[in-house]
Amino acid sequence: MMLHSATRLLSAAFLALGLSTPAATLAQQVIFPQEQQAGTARLSHTANHYVLSNDLLTATFVESGGTLRFGGCPQLNLNAGTELFEIRTGNGATVVRASEMTLSNVREINYAANPSATKGAEKLPGRALEATFKQGNLTVLWRAVLRDGSHYLRTEMKLTASSDTKLFAVVPMLYEVDVHAAGSAPRKVGNTRGAVLLSDKIFAGLETPMGLNTVGAGESDERPFTHDAWTTDDFATPAAATVPAALLAAGHPADKLAVAQGYVTFKQAGSQTLTFTYKGGPHKLN
């Protein structure tokens, strides 16, 4: 992926974080019917602490040491101190963290309701914290948004570059959950890109079907494909539920398959051909 000079690559990379409820959504007037409603979004600023809150959740951001960090959310048992985002360039080995960039212009925003908005959230008033981060040729416009009546905090990022930059990945936010206090640990629900993270208290994910959400060390278990990336150690017998239906329908049982998965990135348009050569082993490929 190439980030071109002065071109917006991500108009908005969102991370939705909210309280799980079993009830259905009913219009805008009554959101997630329950005993306690989210109420009005608020933003307060005391010393170096910025707090976005409503009647259900409180999310703190702390400006210290020339950077801005997440300050925790007690209702969701999210610990303080995590990075707001990471940007990986080149082949992925170069990692630029929010704390390593130059912070400027931390701003408090008041959103008015927009009845004609095409996005449902923008029909409601709200508050947001916005900041600009810069390093080298990269500029990141970051914001955290909380709307009236909202059960979730949304983060948005806009990336620009003053010169062409090979962009490998963007990690729009990292959360650390106190699983002992929460009583449950988040897990990834699904085995495809776009799969969300879920626990008894948390529903989190990127608003893009190609997003990768992970639990644990924060590193995706998926690697970019190169012509010599796969070895015999990468192939394993898959879980039956993950085998494509077409393979099973063709008479290939799951316990007879050896599978490896990787995502391919093409740098140029046009037809592409991948050739795999089987050089030996117990699999006859018949």
Domain assignment present for residue 218? The answer is: no
Q: Is residue 213 part of a domain?
A: no
- For residue 262, what are the domain limits? 223-286
Contact assessment for residue 158 and residue 134, using Cβ atoms and an 8 Å cutoff: no
pTM for this prediction: 0.68
In a domain, 146, yes or no: yes
pLDDT band per the 50, 70, 90 thresholds, residue 2: very low
Is residue 211 situated within a structural domain?
no
3 state DSSP class of 182: helix
Q: What's the burial of 182, exposed, middle or buried (CB within 10 Å: 0-12/13-18/19+)?
A: middle
Q: What percent of the chain has pLDDT over 90?
A: 37
Enter the DSSP assignment of 263.
Answer: B
The verdict on 129 and 268 lying in the same domain is: no
End-to-end CA distance of the chain: 37
Q: Quick one: 245 and 109 in the same domain?
A: no
DSSP 3-state of 43: strand
pLDDT digits (tens, 9 = 90+) for 163-211: 988 888 888 878 889 988 888 888 888 878 888 888 888 888 888 887 8
Q: Is residue 216 part of a domain?
A: no
Domain tally, the chain: 2
177, 80 in Cβ contact below 8 A?
no
The answer to whether position 107 is within a domain reads yes
Residue 235 resides in a domain: yes
Q: Looking at the structure, do residues 65 and 185 belong to the same domain, yes or no?
A: yes
Residues 194 and 240 occupy one common structural domain: no
By the 8 A CB rule, do 166 and 89 touch?
yes
| pLDDT tens per residue across span 17-46 | 444 333 333 334 455 556 788 899 999 999
